[in-house]
Amino acid sequence: MPIGSGARAPCWSPTAADRGLSASLDIRIGWMNSHAMVDPDVTARLAMLAEELRTDEYLDAMAQLWNSDSPAYHGQFVSFADIDAHPRPVQPGGPPVVVGGRSRVTYRRTPRRGHGFYSTGTPENLTRDLAGLRRAAYEVQRPPRIWAVWTSR
């Protein structure tokens, strides 16, 4: 995943699964650029939206690689066919996806594509994140899986 302003590369440790530990894919968009959501500069807001759309497409493409015997994906940012990727994740369906960030798109991504949400900072940030996640859970078609919220200072 390309790293742009406010983006963070996915964190993945394949050796953790090899040692019998739980492994997850950590996706954080907007966690450093929360000001971009209120910045009056249209260019900054459009750049953030493009990163968020690209992230959703990358998640869909990775799911194809993890779960399909003949992976193929054709999107706006990613396109592939006639390839394969090994080793495949140990967990059926791929590793749990933990989402973080502070934007409406991020809050909607969590119940739609994520297995958990990571909130950082103050109790006020956690309150705001939980409110955003509650709203999003009603707005999106939530898959039947359990998701959790983690926090740290």
- Per-residue pLDDT tens digits for 69-80: 999 999 999 999
* Percent of the chain whose predicted confidence (pLDDT) is above 90: 20
- Beta carbons of 44 and 4 less than 8 angstroms apart: no
CA distance 35 to 151: 20
Find all residues with CB under 8 Å of 30, minimum gap 6, and list them: 6, 36, 37, 48, 51, 52, 101, 102, 103, 106
CB of 77 closer than 8 Å to CB of 58: yes
pLDDT higher than threshold 80 for residue 18: no
Cβ–Cβ under 8 Å, residues 142 and 114: no
CB contact at 8 A, 100 and 26: yes
- pLDDT reported for residue 83: 92
Instruction: Decide: residue 38, CB within 10 A, 0-12 exposed, 13-18 middle, 19+ buried.
Output: exposed
Percent of the chain with pLDDT strictly greater than 70? 69
Assess contact for 100 and 25: CB atoms under 8 A. Answer: no
Q: What is the mean pLDDT of the chain?
A: 75
pLDDT in tens, 84-113: 888 888 888 888 888 888 888 888 888 888
Q: Select from 110, 1, 36, 108 the least CA-distant residue to 12.
A: 1
The predicted pLDDT at position 100 comes to 86
Higher pLDDT, residue 27 or 57: 57
23 pLDDT band, cuts 50/70/90, is low
Exposure on the CB side of residue 135, measured as CA atoms within 13 A: 11
Is the Cβ–Cβ distance between 146 and 114 less than 8 Å?
A: no
* Residue (of 35, 80, 41, 37) closest to 62 by Cα position: 80
